[in-house]
A and B are shown apart, each in its own frame.
Chain A
């Protein structure tokens, strides 16, 4: 029961496998994430490249619970160079069922066309138990495609939460072409994760 409780709590927060949390100005993004514990559908719209607003619906497969977050993401800092981009975001979400269920945190990344690194830290407030979650991720593109090509990323991700204090590390594969991004991650605790993103 204890482990299941912990896993369920973890699943209250989407993994956010480093898809860009803000689109270009006027862009919309639809994200679908599923694993053995939950299904998540997240839509966000970016009036500006500096922030996005959205709604996320989460279906908890274990307790058959369904709830939604109203989400807001703000670009705190961006550094563009000739071959790289670095970002720092503030992320937040408030449950539509009540203000005492919400989360906030920061997410950062630095990437070139070859390398990717990212991290995220979140504080989750809810009626059951508050906790903190963090992750770090590194990736490399095995080849460099041109605009419009099929892109592939090989990544490794490690994450931890304050509920069980265990680090979980696992590989992530990301495929990307046109408006569609698809990610797969696997570890022995959460088994398969799949994340589909469509930008329009």
Chain B
């Protein structure tokens, strides 16, 4: 995890099994922070983002997620959105971009 700056809108933590836990707001500023953190952990494995604690997301944040999805696709893998918050789900629905990601709800991820 990179150092936490109190002015950052987003905190990114790497949890067990390389799950990337995202806490805060994915906007223009937060999206850049998230992209940089994910880029440090890119591999052939799926990128798993735990979005349960995302309190806000806008289209600039969504573009960051879509960029991660594109890069993952180029590596032959995918991006998993685990436990997306209501805010995330709503934006995916509004923009019709939900099918770009693999989405795991709480019960699915708990079962693994």
Question: A and B from one assembly?
Answer: no
